[in-house]
Amino acid sequence: MLPANSINMKTAKKANVQKHTTAKKNPAFDVTNKVGNYEKHPFFIKKANRVKEFLDKVGLPESFKAKTS
């Protein structure tokens, strides 16, 4: 018969493995509130305004207009 503490060790080991597996669930990316919201950042506002001005001038691709109309 195994001593009680060896069973606990096995349980703990199993728990660690499960925890590790969960953390690796999506290795490509994660969703976290640590990523800032850059909606009002001048860099992106300036960029978007520039591209918007371009699209206002040249219009959108016909295929996109067809899908949205």
Partner 1 sequence: MNLAKYHYSTNENYLDYEFKSTGPKGVIRKVVRFAEMGKGIYNLGFGDLDETSGEISDSVATNNADTEKVIATVAFIAQNFSEKYPDALIAIQGTTVSRTRLYQINIAKYWDEVSKTFEIQGYRNNQWELFRKGVSYEAFTARRY
Provide the binding-site residues for partner 1, judged by CB under 8 A: 27-39, 41, 43-45, 47-48, 50-52, 54-55, 58-64, 67-68
Q: Which residue shows structure tokens 């109309």? A: 69
User: Between residues 5 and 37, which has the closer beta carbon with respect to partner 1?
Assistant: 37
Residue identified by tokens 């199993």 is 14
Question: Position of tokens 């597996």?
Answer: 21
Q: Specify whether the CB–CB gap between 66 and 59 falls below 8 A.
A: no
- Please state, in angstroms and as integers, the Cα–Cα distance from residue 37 to each residue in 1, 34, 40, 46, 50, following that order: 58, 9, 8, 16, 20
Beta carbon of residue 22, minimum distance to partner 1 (angstroms, whole number): 16
> For partner 1, which is the closer residue by CB, 12 or 51?
51
Q: How far is the CB of 17 from partner 1 (least distance, A)?
A: 22
Of 3 and 36, the one with the shorter C-beta distance to partner 1 is 36
